[in-house]
Amino acid sequence: MRTQVAIIGAGPAGLLLSHLLRLAGVESVVLESRSREHCEHRIRAGVLEQGTVDTLNEAGLGARMQREGLVHHGIELLFERKRHRIDLTALTGGRAITVYGQHEVVCDMIAAAVEHQQQLYFDVSEVSLHDLTSDKPWIQFTHDGAVQRIDCDYVAGCDGFHGVARESIPADALQNFERIYPYAWLGILAHAAPTCDELVYAHHERGFALFSMRSPEVTRLYLQCRPDEDLAQWPDERIWAELHARFENDEGWLPAVGDITQKGVTPMRSFVCEPMQYGRLYLAGDAAHIVPPTGAKGMNLAVADVRMLSKALAARYREGRDDLLAAYSATCLERVWRAEHFSYFMTNMLHPSFDDTPFINRLKMAELRYVAHSDAASRMLAENYVGLPFRD
């Protein structure tokens, strides 16, 4: 098999890259170790920055998102029993966020890939990358019991934190930066109509809580918990009691109670590898960086990566330019580190620490008050939350 760009991973990064390359007239093949059904039903967060929404629309992938996505013009910070609204749209010159599940984005991309007859292989195994520092890299994999080979010009590693792409780079060629947080999120999906039109981030002495939604009928909620939390110790009744305790406020607002259809514990990690390229291998999305979910940056960073990579590859094939490919890592890392800092800021501010001194928790509360009442601080949060403009 021969193609111009071989893409490892059929998550949002790999699928979007394939679409953007097709629009630029560049051939690609996508390899995915999981089944199509798994990819289309794997539930992940779905807060899309303005730039992500614009990118999907420009690529012709946003029709269903425009119909079913929930556009939010603000978020709320809840602390000391008071709700404080951050007006994202007013503070950012009209920008907003859209709540639309990551699996829905993946479904839309796979449907479009099938429609346009893009080469997409699910359920592949034994993937190995070869000759990455040459001008003729190749990939070997097994599909339907047969060993196959792809010869290509470039490889895009979009296969996540545990994927084969980053592991194919010699350890001495990468520098890894990581922070493991001392808490996690217990997340649930519930069949309950959202009782608020916007996301609510709650700081409470018992721990952080987040109110979100997936649709007009489904609520998504999170509780701060231990990384080693035993879900067996969290029956539905305890979850709802804890949520209501952490969302307590003077206005009497609370999430609606409904049947819980999914529970899970999400660990909190920050991770960045530098550089994001090695020879003719380019890393994108979770293969190169992880952010804690508090800042809602994970999928948005992946979109920013492949937006840049698609432009760099298009310039290479259309104009014979290599400068954008050479600058790929440095260009992406500037945005990555800004998002890492914002995610750290949100995570640190909103999660009370039970291991630190009361002094540290008082500092966090002081920062919350400042963000809620200062126009300058509110604008900083809003600009980062809706996503900084792309520097095209």
Query: Among this protein's residues, is 328 annotated catalytic?
Result: no
Query: Among this protein's residues, is 385 annotated catalytic?
Result: yes
Query: Among this protein's residues, is 311 annotated catalytic?
Result: no
Distances (CA, A) of 391 to 51, 90, 297: 11, 22, 17
Active-site residue, selected from the candidate residues 100, 183, 222, 385: 385
Active-site residue, selected from the candidate residues 72, 103, 289, 351: 72
Return d(Cα 351, Cα 372) in angstroms, integer.
16
Active-site residue, selected from the candidate residues 100, 154, 183, 201: 201
Nearest to 392 by CA among 58, 22, 47: 58
CA dihedral 68, 72, 75, 76 (to 10 degrees): -70
Q: Transcribe 185-215 into DSSP letters.
A: EEEEEEES--SSSS-EEEE-TT--EEEEEEE
Nearest to 303 by CA among 66, 85, 62: 62
Q: What angle separates helix 12-23 from helix 298-319, to the nearest 10 degrees?
A: 30
Active-site residue, selected from the candidate residues 12, 194, 255, 293: 293
Return d(Cα 70, Cα 121) in angstroms, integer.
32
Q: What are the start-end ranges of the H helices in the chain? A: 12-23, 36-41, 50-58, 63-68, 88-91, 102-115, 164-167, 236-246, 298-319, 323-326, 328-350, 358-373, 375-386
Say if CB 81 and CB 300 are below 8 A apart. Answer: no
Active-site residue, selected from the candidate residues 297, 311, 351, 364: 297
Catalytic residues: 72, 201, 293, 297, 385
